Amino acid sequence: MSPVKQFQVTFDCAEPERLARFWCAVLGYAVPPVPPGFATWDDYDRTRPPERQGSAFACVDPAGVGPRLYFQRVPEGKVVKNRVHLDVRVGTGLVKEERLAALEAECARLIPLGAVRVRLLLSDDYEESCIVMQDIEGNEFCLD
């Protein structure tokens, strides 16, 4: 079997740059460097055909560990629950009240960024607690 390849996670969305910048703030990611010869991403974007301007944006883990996130504009809006979602791991290794406190603190940090709290799923015999949230375009993710 071949070794695992690098991968990126792609989001279909209405506003690629806005959603990318939201996820930068959530994850501590950064916008990649502007291509050579351009002062800003807006300068680069203006060189593209009008129908492609603003159609995509990306963000990367500055440590180079996490996957690249790519956001692409699509004409249709979100209709149903995501089939794949991100789990933002803020409670790893924590249990019970300590885990809940970490989840609640992160939830409180993300709401001013535009995230929406959906529900708290309390621990049971199989799973630890998590908070289901939505990003600024309504995509579900979990604080885990």
pLDDT in tens, 44-70: 999 999 999 999 999 999 999 999 999
pLDDT higher than threshold 80 for residue 89: yes
Q: What is the pTM (predicted TM-score) of this model? A: 0.90
Exposure string over 27-58, b if 16+ CB within 10 A, otherwise e: eebeeeeeeeeeeebeeebeeeeeeeeeebbb
Confidence of residue 3 (pLDDT cuts 50, 70, 90): confident
Reading the block at residue 132, the tokens are 């289901």
Reading the block at residue 9, the tokens are 């996670």
pLDDT in tens, 103-135: 999 999 999 999 999 999 998 877 889 999 999
Reading the block at residue 75, the tokens are 């004409």
